């Protein structure tokens, strides 16, 4: 029998994976600080949406895992659906932020907003379908294939941005924790639950996500500045706009 990192309150109520609570507080702090720092570095506001949804996702995930042993099964299922979907949403927004870095879209334009709604809406429908059907193949696609594809696309966009801006590609090393997080998520596919003191497989994953976001914010702050944007903008910005 798997022993969870639980805290029993009263005679029946079980608080599961309670160490997620301090990680949630840390995640909200990281989101706020990242937002404040990046505001000074870039006009691409979509990156700040990534930090907002990171904090929101941490909250949803904490609720889902913390109260997994309660009888509110339908509520927990809905919260877990939102938690899973928000992970994909963060990656999609980061990718569109990369396109905005290259001047290919204007994030404040209606056409760009309408275009961004399409993949976000499709992913929402797919996650909702998975939550109803519990199809293993669809879960694997949404949890691993989709993030891998978006991650590679984001990396390509960032390499182009760094080369055009004459910024060293070595800054991409800040994104390595994201790769570690992806590998850890693959490890989680099987029944590999563990609990050491108060660290569980879930709390370790949440901590890795937090670390990945910290490093992403650091990468963004180091590689975004007005001179980089003006350099890109000098290459006929208006003609390169897609939306």
Q: What is the pLDDT of residue 72?
A: 66
The pLDDT score that the predictor gives to residue 201 is: 76
Q: How much is the mean pLDDT over the chain?
A: 81
206 neighbors 20 (Cβ within 8 angstroms) = yes
Q: Residue 41 is inside which H or E element, if any?
A: none
Per-residue pLDDT, 233: 43
Is it the case that residue 4 has pLDDT exceeding 80?
no
Provide CB contacts within 8 A for 124, sequence distance 6+. 85
Q: How far is CA 208 from the centre of its chain?
A: 11
Task: Identify the DSSP state of 189.
Answer: T
At residue 209, does pLDDT exceed 50? yes
pLDDT tens digits, one per residue of 126-183: 999 988 888 888 988 998 899 999 999 999 999 999 999 899 999 999 999 998 888 8
Q: Check whether 217 has a pLDDT greater than 50.
A: yes
Would the pLDDT of 204 be above 50? Answer: yes
Mean pLDDT of 5-18: 58
Across the chain, how many H-helices and E-strands are there? 10, 4
Q: How confident is the model at residue 14 (pLDDT cuts 50, 70, 90)?
A: low
- Residue 195 has phi, psi (to 5 degrees) of -145, 115
The 10s digit of each residue's pLDDT in 71-85 is 667 888 899 999 999
Q: Buried b vs exposed e over 54-77: b needs ≥16 C-beta within 10 Å?
A: bbbbbbbbbbbbbbbbeeeeeebe
- Range in 20-29, 75-84, 225-234 the model is least confident about: 225-234
Mean pLDDT of 27-34: 94
pLDDT confidence band for 193 (50 / 70 / 90): low
Residue-range domain boundaries for the chain: 6-236
pLDDT at 87 over 70: yes
pLDDT band at 96 (very low <50, low <70, confident <90, very high): very high
Rounded mean pLDDT, 197-223? 87
Would you say 152 and 94 are in contact if contact means Cβ atoms under 8 Å apart? Answer: no
User: Between residues 230 and 147, which one has the greater pLDDT?
Assistant: 147
For the segment 36-79, what is each residue's pLDDT rounded down to a tens digit? Answer: 888 877 766 788 899 999 999 999 999 988 877 666 678 888 99
The CATH classification number of 6-236 equals 1.20.1070
**3-state secondary structure (DSSP) of residue 8:** strand
Rounded average pLDDT over 14-41? 85
User: Is the pLDDT higher at 110 or at 154?
Assistant: 154
- End-to-end C-alpha distance for the chain, whole angstroms: 54
- Over residues 210-216, mean pLDDT: 94
Counting other chains too, the contacts that 136-145 makes at CB distance below 8 Å and 24 or more residues apart are: 140/189, 142/84, 142/88, 143/84, 143/185, 144/182, 144/185, 144/186
Task: Please tell me the pTM assigned to this model.
Answer: 0.82
């Amino acid at each position: 029998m798997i022993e969870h990192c639980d805290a029993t309150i009263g005679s029946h109520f079980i608080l599961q994976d309670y160490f997620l609570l301090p990680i949630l507080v840390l995640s909200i702090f990281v989101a706020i600080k990242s937002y404040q720092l990046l505001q000074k570095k870039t006009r691409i506001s979509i990156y700040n949406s990534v930090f907002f949804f990171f904090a929101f996702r941490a909250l949803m995930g904490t609720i889902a895992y913390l109260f997994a042993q309660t009888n509110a099964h339908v509520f927990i299922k809905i919260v877990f659906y939102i938690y899973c979907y928000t992970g994909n949403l963060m990656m999609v927004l980061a990718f569109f932020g990369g396109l905005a870095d290259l001047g290919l879209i204007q994030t404040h334009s209606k056409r760009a907003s309408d275009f961004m709604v399409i993949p976000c809406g499709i992913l929402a429908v797919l996650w909702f379908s998975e939550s109803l059907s519990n199809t293993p193949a669809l879960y694997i696609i949404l949890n691993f294939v989709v993030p891998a594809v978006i991650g590679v696309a984001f990396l390509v966009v960032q390499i182009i941005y760094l080369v055009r801006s004459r910024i060293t590609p070595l800054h991409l090393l800040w994104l390595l924790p994201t790769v570690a997080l992806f590998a850890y998520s693959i490890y989680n596919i099987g029944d590999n639950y563990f609990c050491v003191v108060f660290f569980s497989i879930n709390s370790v994953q949440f901590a890795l996500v937090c670390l990945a976001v910290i490093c992403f914010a650091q990468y963004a702050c180091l590689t975004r500045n007005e001179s980089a944007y003006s350099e890109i903008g000098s290459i006929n910005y208006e003609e390169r706009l897609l939306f």
